Amino acid sequence: MPTLATSLLIPDTTLAKEATEILREHATSLIFNHSVRVYLFAAQQGRQQQLRFDPELLYVSAAFHDLGLVKEFSSTNERFEVDGANAVRQFLETHNVPEPQVQTAWEAIALHTTPGVTQYMRSEVALLYTGVGLDVLGENFDHFPSELREEIVARYPRERFKEGIVQAFFGGFAHKPETTFGTVKADVCERFIPGYKSPNFCDLIAASPFPDSPTTK
């Protein structure tokens, strides 16, 4: 088991430092602390599971994973997860990171709110999802070393986090609620937009322009 000191280190590389600078410049303190906690939680989970992963790539993915909620990175018509994924792609390509690693970071961010898929993908993709799940929903809370968890939170506090993260989500896609269709973020729009209801998949099937074929005997 790593010591607390080593577990709380983020990669000391130029790429990681520049990602931190971008995160610090554009994100709120709530998103900044959340993003660093996500990395630390994810990295420790990777060690506990004895997974091979790239700490630098995982850290950069964590740093960018919610930047799609920020105005400077938000598009008018894409899911916020895709906006963050596109931002990390641009960042990594600027630093001549090989395409396989770029694609891994893109997938990790694009799928970080999608349940039931990432555990079958590369370690960085799977770990970003579990790091987010622990910090936002408390998933696997009791399986994470309590002393380390408490020190991480002490260094990167969860000040009014439960209320604040929901508000941050809504602020990131209130202007494009239709992009949340089919995702857990549709719940946020239904909570905060009066009268808004996400489209029903069954209704969309019924409204398809295709007619049913005649019934054959």
Buried b or exposed e, range 159-179, using 16+ CB within 10 angstroms: eebeebbeebbbbbbeebbeb
Contact of 82 with 172, CB cutoff 8 Å: no
- Give the residue among 202, 170, 198 at the shortest CA–CA distance from 186: 198
pLDDT average, residue stretch 48-73: 97
Place of tokens 């960085």: 124
Euclidean distance between CA atoms 172 and 74, whole angstroms: 7
Which H or E run contains 4? helix 4-7
What backbone torsions phi and psi does residue 131 show, to the nearest 5 degrees?
-65, -40
pLDDT tens for 8-39 read 899 999 999 999 999 999 999 999 999 999 99
Domains of the chain, with CATH numbers?
Answer: 4-174 (1.10.3210)
Quote the mean pLDDT of the chain. Answer: 96
Q: Which of 97, 75, 111, 87 is nearest to 25 (CA)?
A: 87
User: In this predicted model, what pLDDT tens digit does every residue of 82-122 receive, in sequence order?
Assistant: 999 999 999 999 999 999 999 999 999 999 999 999 999 99
**Location of structure tokens 């609620």:** 177
How buried is 135 (Cβ within 10 angstroms: 0-12 exposed, 13-18 middle, 19+ buried)?
A: buried
Both tokens of residue 71?
Answer: 């105005």
Do 42 and 130 form a contact (C-beta atoms < 8 A)? yes
Question: Is the pLDDT score of 66 beyond 80?
Answer: yes
